[in-house]
């Protein structure tokens, strides 16, 4: 694909998200979502392989279904209330259709079945866009709607996503599928938190995007497709492996990393409002996720997979240390922002 075409498509994806975030008209919001989706499809097919094309077709069909549901929801809302404003409280039918449409777009339970397969079929750089940037606009819509409409359905979907995200990742060995189920589980945390604390949900979303970007880039540069590749990656670049371990543990919510701070603050908001059962379900889902997070960290740090001596590679030159490439510096900055910036996160969540 020509560079100018790629730049135009990426700019269109960004423009679509900006339109959604800044608009209060349902029709303009729908146009922004579809503008972003249609611009992303050619980007996903830039590496033309059978598996890539299959994943792109699945993604397009799911997004087309969610677009139809979203448009029907807004049409029913406009017909019953006479208003296209997102600030108008929604009736039950429109709200249910809207939540289902956004669940398909976000790849969360019970509409998550397509997300792991699509992410597995895409390269890391394209999967990064699907699992991070493309989730911003639907989440912002969901945040706004839950502030003015009934939120019990959103809480149920969020709790279910947390459990399915933790349960589905237990038997996975492919890193992209592990990241997919991790995304489902973390989306559940963010959605449930948004019902009770809008600022905390935004801070959690920011930290999730940063850590996920760091992990995707590290896996791509180290070419880690399965858990069995972690050992060779450790010997090739211990710095990247350290970043993977700490980022994974931050997603799992282990102290004193930033992921723990955000989950602790989320639980504090829930318990402080008397929602003990949702808090218990979130903790259960987080414990399930923590099992495969720890497995990744354990494989990367302790277990040596069988291999021949001739396959071992050195991560430094004989004359001294190897200069760190530019991508390693970029990943390191994302790692610092996403895993050990606890004071910044506390400031965002408490004072916004």
Q: Residue ranges of the domains in the chain?
A: 3-351
What is the per-residue pLDDT for 1? 63
Q: Which residues contact 212 (CB under 8 A, 6 or more apart)?
A: 128, 131, 132, 179, 183, 251
**Spatial CA neighbour of 184 closest among 242, 140, 118, 265:** 118
**Residues in the chain with pLDDT values less than 70:** 1, 150, 231-237, 302-352
pLDDT of residue 160: 95
* pLDDT at 102 (0 to 100): 95
Predicted pLDDT at 238: 73
The model's pLDDT over 3-16, given as tens digits with 9 standing for 90+, comes to 888 899 999 999 99
Give the per-residue pLDDT at 261: 81
**Residue 275 carries which DSSP code?**
-
Cα-Cα end-to-end distance for the chain: 42
- Residue 161 burial by Cβ neighbours in a 10 Å radius (0-12, 13-18, 19+): buried
262-291 residues labelled b (16+ CB within 10 A) or e (exposed): bbebbbebbeeeebeebbebbeebbebbbe
**What tokens were used for 316?**
């430094």
Q: 3-state DSSP call for residue 174?
A: strand
* Partners of 223 in beta bridges: none
Spatial separation of the C-alpha atoms in residues 8 and 310, rounded to whole Å? 45
Smallest CA-to-CA distance from 193 within 147, 238, 224 is with 147
pLDDT of residue 304: 44
User: Helices H, strands E: what count in the chain?
Assistant: 16, 0
Sign of CA dihedral 347, 183, 278, 245: negative
Question: What is the rounded CA–CA span in Å between residue 231 and residue 239?
Answer: 13
CA distance 8 to 5: 5
Q: Report the alpha-carbon distance of residue 188 to residue 169 in Å, rounded.
A: 14
What is the rounded (10 degree) CA torsion for 98, 104, 66, 102? 30
The single residue listed with the structure tokens 């180290």 is: 222
Cα separation, 294 vs 163, in Å, equals 17
Q: In the structure encoding, which two tokens stand for residue 5, read together?
A: 């075409």
191, with CB counted inside 10 A (0-12, 13-18, 19+), is buried
Closest CA to 287 of 189, 196, 198: 189
């Amino acid at each position: 694909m020509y560079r100018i075409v790629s730049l135009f498509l990426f700019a269109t994806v960004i423009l679509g998200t900006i339109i959604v975030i800044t608009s209060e008209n349902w029709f303009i919001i729908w146009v922004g979502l579809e503008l972003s989706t249609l611009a992303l499809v050619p980007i996903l097919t830039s590496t033309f392989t059978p598996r890539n094309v299959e994943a792109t077709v699945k993604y397009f069909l799911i997004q087309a279904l969610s677009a139809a549901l979203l448009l029907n929801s807004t049409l029913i809302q406009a017909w019953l209330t006479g208003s296209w404003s997102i600030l108008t409280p929604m009736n039950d039918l429109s709200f249910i259709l809207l939540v289902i449409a956004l669940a398909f777009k976000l790849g969360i339970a019970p509409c998550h079945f397509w997300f792991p397969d699509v992410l597995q079929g895409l390269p890391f750089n394209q999967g990064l866009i699907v699992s991070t940037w493309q989730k911003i606009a639907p989440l912002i819509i969901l945040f706004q709607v839950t502030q003015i409409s009934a939120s019990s359905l959103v809480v149920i979907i969020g709790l279910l996503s947390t459990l399915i995200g933790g349960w589905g990742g237990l038997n996975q060995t492919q890193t992209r599928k592990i990241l997919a189920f991790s995304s489902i589980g973390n989306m559940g945390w963010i959605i449930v938190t948004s019902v009770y604390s809008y600022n905390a949900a935004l801070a959690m979303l920011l930290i999730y995007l940063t850590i996920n970007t760091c992990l995707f880039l590290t896996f791509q540069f180290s070419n880690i497709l399965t858990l069995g590749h972690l050992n060779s990656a450790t010997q090739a670049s211990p710095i990247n492996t350290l970043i993977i371990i700490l980022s994974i543990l931050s997603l799992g919510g282990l102290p004193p990393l930033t992921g723990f701070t955000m989950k602790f603050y989320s639980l504090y908001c829930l318990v402080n409002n008397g929602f003990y059962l949702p808090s218990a379900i979130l903790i259960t889902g987080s414990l399930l996720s923590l099992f495969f997070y720890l497995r990744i960290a354990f494989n990367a740090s302790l277990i040596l997979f069988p291999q021949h001596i001739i396959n071992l590679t050195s991560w430094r030159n004989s004359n001294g240390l190897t200069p760190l490439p530019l991508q390693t510096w970029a990943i390191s900055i994302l790692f610092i922002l996403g895993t050990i910036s606890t004071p910044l996160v506390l400031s965002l969540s408490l004072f916004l």
